[in-house]
Structure 1
Amino acid sequence: MSCILNIETSTSVCSVALSSEGEVLFEKSSFEGPSHAALLGVYVEEALGEMKKNGFCLDAVAVSSGPGSYTGLRIGVSVAKGLCFGYGIPLISIHTLEVLAVAALKEQDNAADRLYCAMLDARRMEVYAAIYDASLKTVRETSADIVDADTYAAYLEKGKVCFFGNGAAKCREVITSPNAFFIDNIHPLAVNMIPLSEKAFAESQFEDVAYFEPFYLKEFQATIAKNKVLG
């Protein structure tokens, strides 16, 4: 039986969840702006208290690997690494866009007649996005996109595409296909990491605790700038 602490700090939301075999033992999230430094330690302490109260032992820590904000990811990864070193347990990294996709799939009742495009905001009309099907299989790998009317045309011509995440709102006026749907209030939350982290644990997909680094949005922005020069 695995007990996993899940940490999500890639955006302004600070979120922690504790799970065991798919069951949520503890979950807490704050949507009140970037307050990870003040809240994350408190949430983790509460989660570990709940774990001990129920007689569990921590088997792994899962952390959102980005893309995301530099400060948020640094805080989340630092806490996750400290716990892994202290408990002598493995570290699991979960892609932020997959966490968003899990939330969108829940909201859409896993509807199989559409694709799911997870978007994280960068700046201007720039996003970091990946496209999944209803089984969470990757249809298009994560990419740095400058969004215009044609960016996702190849997918929209074939059927419905749901757009969500904090990068989707600014695309509403640009992506006007009748097959485009926008889902509001989809955030990367630790509770939605649970199926992903438990799968990774079962398959022993662990990171090197000493050398693991998340993917920051500033690195994505550098990619965008490079693509503009090359293009």
Structure 2
Amino acid sequence: MTSILAIDTSTEACSVALSRNGVISGIHEIVPRRHSQRLLAMLQDLLPEGIAADGGLDAIAYGSGPGSFTGLRIAASAVQGLCFAAALPALPVSTLACQVQTALRLGLIGEGEAVLSTLDAHIGELYWALYQIEDGLPQALTAAAASKPEQLDLAGSGTLVAIGSGLHYLEHFRAATQERLSRRHPDLLPAARDLLPLAQHALARGQVQMAEQVCPVYVRDEISWKKIAEQGPRS
């Protein structure tokens, strides 16, 4: 069996998880604006001997976005450093897909259901994507996007289960969109342990990144991220 470390700091939650020989352990805390203070301590609690000393890891998964700009940078920086130090590949996982996996684990959605996964972008917009559960994993029906709530336009028909903090804008959704939402779970946040099924699936398919390829997915084109090699000397 594979051993994967998972890190997610894309929302108010900061969480880490480890899958080793089919056994999952993890730490999940709601710590708005304190991710940089808690992440390394959480990793040390999860892996007291350190990443390099562990020697049994196959890869490191991370919530690649969309999400909080600062949170995504924290995770990407940590994953780059850890992957360089331990010569491990990285496994990027969509935050929106991870959130669907969290809802599935909690029994909020089931096999075959269509899901609207949302995140509050905190600037009068939301991030969103549509998924369908197939064989216990979320399959993307649309690419991740950012939009104003009143502009959210969901093509197609049929009911959807809606999840995530973007539902705080629900009253601004179009009436036709609101009518399609059969169940709503606005307080859900993604957890690092739910990166693991998606990461294992990606690893089996060889969909990995090297450390220098680790990069957040912001959705918005105007946001840029400089990888370690591009950042220049540090003051």
The answer to whether TM tops 0.5 is yes
Distance 1:220 1:189, change over 3 A: farther
Distance 1:220 1:115, change over 3 A: farther
- How do 1:120-159 residues align onto structure 2 when only pairs under 5 Å count? 120-123=119-122, 125-135=124-134, 136-148=138-150, 151-152=153-154, 154-155=155-156, 158-159=157-158
d(CA) in 2 for partners of 1:170, 1:108:
24
d(CA) in 2 for partners of 1:9, 1:150:
26
**Structure 1 range deviating more: 163-172 or 176-185:** 176-185
Q: State the identity as a percent.
A: 29
Q: What residue is the counterpart of 1:179 in the other structure?
A: 180
Q: What residue is the counterpart of 1:208 in the other structure?
A: 210
Task: Write the letter of the residue equivalent to 1:189.
Answer: A
1:13 aligned onto 2:8: no
CA contact (8 A) 2:99 2:190 kept: yes
Give the secondary structure class of the aligned counterpart of 2:100: helix
Q: What residue is the counterpart of 2:36 in the other structure?
A: 37
TM-score relative to the length of structure 2: 0.81
CA contact (8 A) 2:152 2:173 kept: no
Shift of 1:139: 1.7
Deviations 1:18-54 (A, max 9, x none): 0125431x210111322111110011111113899xx
Distance 1:111 1:56, change over 3 A: same
CA contact (8 A) 1:172 1:182 kept: no
Q: What residue is the counterpart of 1:170 in the other structure?
A: 169
Deviations 1:150-207 (A, max 9, x none): 623x44xx22111111111222453544431311321111011110111112222111
Task: Write the letter of the residue equivalent to 2:208.
Answer: F
d(CA) in 2 for partners of 1:125, 1:113:
31
Task: Write the letter of the residue equivalent to 2:87.
Answer: G
CA contact (8 A) 2:116 2:162 kept: yes
- How do 1:47-196 residues align onto structure 2 when only pairs under 5 Å count? 47-49=46-48, 57-108=56-107, 110-112=109-111, 114-123=113-122, 125-135=124-134, 136-148=138-150, 151-152=153-154, 154-155=155-156, 158-172=157-171, 174-176=173-175, 177-180=178-181, 181-196=183-198
Shift of 1:60: 1.0
Task: Write the letter of the residue equivalent to 2:77.
Answer: S
Distance 1:127 1:22, change over 3 A: farther
Q: Which runs of 5+ in 1 are unaligned?
A: 223-231
Deviations 1:88-109 (A, max 9, x none): 1111111111101111223445
Shift of 1:146: 2.2
CA contact (8 A) 2:13 2:30 kept: yes
| CA RMSD after TM alignment | 2.5
- How do 1:211-226 residues align onto structure 2 when only pairs under 5 Å count? 211-216=213-218, 219=220
Q: What residue is the counterpart of 2:229 in the other structure?
A: none
Give the secondary structure class of the aligned counterpart of 1:57: coil
